[in-house]
Amino acid sequence: MNSRQSNFQRQGVLALILCCLLAAQSRGQAIRDWQRFPAVVEEQTPRELYALGDVHGDYDRMVELLAGAHLIAPNPITPQAVRWTGGKDVLVCTGDMIDKYTYAVSVIALMRALQPLAMRDGGRVIVTMGNHEAEFLAGAGADKKGMEFEEELLSVGISPPDVAAGKDSKGIGQWLRDLPVAAKVGDWFFCHAGNTGGLSIAQLDQQVEAQITQHGFDSPILLDDNSLLEARMHPRPWWDWDGQAPTLKDAPTEKEPKHAPANAGDDPGENRLRVGIEALGAHHLVFGHQPGKIKFADGTEREAGAMYQKFDGLVFLIDTGMSRGVAGGRGALLRISNGSAHGATAVYADGTTQTLVP
């Protein structure tokens, strides 16, 4: 392609984005400032890095976990009265704040209150988008997965369609629409379902912006079966499939890829996973989305509700089904000390810990 053709192509993309922005504006939807709110947030490695999986509206469980890890003061009177006590630590929440249980408005309020408090002390609270947030926004306030968030909004006098369009007076919708889809903190990459498709961060930024601008939040890169926010771990982990990923309802068939017991470097799924993580300039991947039992190609298993690591700290699964609207499992935070997988532990609400990587 010569430079003239390349310029024409860039102009065509910019024109398409402008048309989509004008269309969104005509529909009364909030416009996102992608410079201020990029698709992927990047931060340097802090002394202590924490990750929280799917809260799904369980405000009390979330508060217990954050207080148990000394990130907030215990028992805030209201979500807005929360006090950040994590200093320069960084907390990443990998999405699905809403649905399943009945206090998502309070969960969002607390996270919104924490963000400027943490920044004031040199820390950071990063919330990435989950498939439930994307589906709520894509459905103009009619969530495909459940009605709990819509019913909760209505109960406090807030219009779900206004929130989905980013027009509500509380600013909930604009906050949701501006969420990043992923975060990179030092060598660690976080997103809701984990599958970045082998793209670099620059490519993710470009494709997410272009697709959301053109398609809204029902974009393939967000909500396809094998996407950033929806990639499946059943009947096999998404990295074990080099073609079309299975859906949750699919049963194993004779057409599934065959795997011999994995020796170091011999598992094609592990190698595919490593290549994808390296493309991000990262060494570790952290995601939520799946709290259930998982069987891996080498015969090992992750028990339902357990925080789990695989491939010597290459990947961490942090959805423990903590919400009482899901499984009511034992919630946990992932704590990463000094950016090292060998400092990775599960931290429970009572302050006890479990080493994940010896």
Q: What angle do CA 89, 91, 92 make, to 5 degrees?
A: 145
pLDDT of 281 over the 70 cut: yes
What confidence tens digit (pLDDT) does each residue in 18-37 have? 444 444 444 456 789 999 99
User: What kind of fold does domain 44-247+257-355 have according to CATH?
Assistant: Purple Acid Phosphatase; chain A, domain 2 (3.60.21)
Average pLDDT over residues 152-172: 95
pLDDT greater at residue 85 or residue 351: 85
pLDDT of 259 over the 60 cut: no
Instruction: Write the single-letter amino acid at 181.
Output: V
pLDDT of 216 over the 60 cut: yes
Average pLDDT over residues 43-48: 92
Domain extents for the chain?
Answer: 44-247+257-355
What confidence tens digit (pLDDT) does each residue in 97-140 have? 999 999 999 999 999 999 999 999 999 999 999 999 999 999 88
What confidence tens digit (pLDDT) does each residue in 52-77 have? 999 999 999 999 999 999 999 999 99
Nearest Cα residue to 319 out of 45, 133, 100, 56: 56
pLDDT of 2 over the 60 cut: no
Average pLDDT over residues 286-307: 93
- Dihedral class, residue 105 (left if φ above 0, else alpha if ψ from -120 to 50, else beta): alpha
Beta pairing class for 294-295 and 284-287: unpaired
**92: enclosing H helix or E strand:** strand 90-93
Q: Out of 29-38, 155-164, 188-197, 254-263, which region has the weakest mean confidence (pLDDT)?
A: 254-263
Q: Out of 38-42, 102-106, 252-256, 351-355, which region has the weakest mean confidence (pLDDT)?
A: 252-256
CB 190 within 8 Å of CB 287: yes
If you average pLDDT over every residue of the chain, what do you get?
Answer: 87
